[in-house]
Structure 1
């Protein structure tokens, strides 16, 4: 799958998700970012360095700044956990004592300090991915690339791996570019997201901001509205987006009581985005003081979209 004018910036210290279904171009994108495939046009920058301008030894050295974790772990089955984590350090010429010290730090960091002598066949899927994460961090990279790193795991294990990545981001300031087809992954840990379809970037921005925009692709996926519904004569259809403490407010009962309005709920949902709660309601308003009710909602700080 070719990429067509894909451009985005991953802020340092954030988790940036690239969301797309099979065939969207996600694998091509991540292979271009680490230059396993060289793009035919455009450029890729890591901090101040344009890595598309590098070749040979200079490129190999720059790749050491990019850690990578994979869907199917890519561990060496004949090596122990410790030796798998140490492998990139061997390639870089670290001494045996330096490798041992760094491996010990990393296994403790990912919660595997008691499994150093185990082999991959003796590990669960989640443990294998923790080994993969430790290996990816061995050379202290500036950026961690995650290529569908949780799609082969069960939901509970997925959650534990995402929590680990979020902790690494928070404690180390690690920049993470995360490729996924799973909306739940984006909801759990991503600060920003770009949506990829057929090689094109169709939407990007902060997850919370896109989710709060009723007309965004992200919001339409998270909060689907009934397609067959037609408003009754004289009714006003309103989409209300709300965050934080507003998700617990009795908004609809206040409208009914204070503005003499009949309210018909068409659709609604509340989603969690990391530590942020965000909800959306689509309601039909009939009779009473509709304009005053809409002004009231806006003064509460809610986002209101009116479809008459």
Structure 2
């Protein structure tokens, strides 16, 4: 649904060249929730604004649903943008308009009749859980309610793609969870493709199917969230499961990271190692998390005994990913 092909974006500021995107290749499948994770200055906002051409790439191509956005201009670009909704960190609502009028605004722009706008607004208010708020003004709403208005407005044009620009970072944790649940519900109910950018690992854990990690304008890792979380050496897994640093194993012991996903997460693997191979297992760190609909776990362990090598071979053969340090 969304494809970046060797996208570069360079800004020139006071005779300095700032590289915001440096050869980005990105592939977002139809119907998935795709997260772009990175710290401030990584280039996330520039990346998402290249999708609807609020930013024009210096080099490379961006396609949405097979259409090359970078070749469009004028009326063709405006028409293409109507199929792409966008929600923002600070809501961007019109303070002088009611909730209903904010949601109806894009429908006015495209020339829908008053009757059609009214029916669509009522439908969208119900969809985002804001029945009874049609005549309220933004100043009378909580942050979560404002973001629901923003989501309703973004859906007014019945887009195939929804862009989320740090849409939950200004909200408290409980409200963030409710907004993310709403986005997941819309994704499943409408088949909506959602591309969201965030610096919050919790957002990726809760709703993202796939993720790309952006650093200094480059994609340094990309894939299914549950697959990456189950790889001990992946950057995402190291964010999900922080490790003990500086630990020195006992003499003769082996320090290893054991990762797993899916059905094997139910197995009492460390008890099995202790019984079958007479191995002492010292769990230093780790946990089991639910990522999407899969259980994913990773543990940093110290293994000691005469059959540690056999125990590690058993893990490899039993669908566990093992990294020996």
What's the TM-score, normalizing by structure 2? 0.91
The alpha carbon displacement at 1:177 in A equals 0.2
- Partner of residue 177 from structure 1, selected from 195, 200, 220: 195
1:59 equivalenced with 2:77 (yes/no): yes
Distance in 2 of aligned mates of 1:48 and 1:61 = 15
Which residue in 2 is equivalent to 1:284?
Answer: 302
Which residue in 2 is equivalent to 1:193?
Answer: 211
How many residue pairs match? The answer is 307
- Partner of residue 171 from structure 2, selected from 150, 153, 159: 153
Following superposition of structure 1 onto structure 2, how do residues 81-92 of structure 1 map, counting pairs within 5 Å? 81-92=99-110
Which residue in 1 is equivalent to 2:92?
Answer: 74
1:4 equivalenced with 2:25 (yes/no): no
- For the 8 Å contact 2:51–2:64, the answer to whether it is kept is no
Which residue in 2 is equivalent to 1:294?
Answer: 312
The alpha carbon displacement at 1:245 in A equals 4.4
The alpha carbon displacement at 1:161 in A equals 0.3
Which residue in 2 is equivalent to 1:252?
Answer: 270
Larger mean Cα displacement after TM superposition, 159-168 or 225-234: 225-234
1:44 equivalenced with 2:71 (yes/no): no
Which residue in 2 is equivalent to 1:19?
Answer: 37
What's the TM-score, normalizing by structure 1? 0.96
Which residue in 2 is equivalent to 1:118?
Answer: 136
The alpha carbon displacement at 1:248 in A equals 4.0
The alpha carbon displacement at 1:278 in A equals 1.0
Distance in 2 of aligned mates of 1:275 and 1:263 = 29
- Partner of residue 109 from structure 1, selected from 93, 106, 127: 127
Distance in 1 of aligned mates of 2:280 and 2:310 = 14
- 1:209-248 deviation digits (Å, cap 9, x = unpaired): 1111111111111222222123333222221112244334
Which residue in 1 is equivalent to 2:186?
Answer: 168
Distance in 2 of aligned mates of 1:254 and 1:31 = 51
- Partner of residue 111 from structure 2, selected from 81, 90, 93: 93
Larger mean Cα displacement after TM superposition, 160-169 or 264-273: 264-273
Tell me how large the CA RMSD over aligned residues is. Answer: 1.4
Distance in 2 of aligned mates of 1:11 and 1:270 = 27
Distance in 2 of aligned mates of 1:101 and 1:284 = 63
For structure 2, which runs of at least 5 residues remain unmatched after alignment?
A: 1-18
For structure 1, which runs of at least 5 residues remain unmatched after alignment?
A: none
Give every structure 1 segment of 4 or more consecutive aligned residues whose post-TM-superposition deviation is greater than 4 Å. Answer: none
Secondary structure, aligned partner of 2:276? helix
- Partner of residue 205 from structure 1, selected from 223, 229, 232: 223
Secondary structure, aligned partner of 1:36? coil
Larger strand proportion of the pair: 2
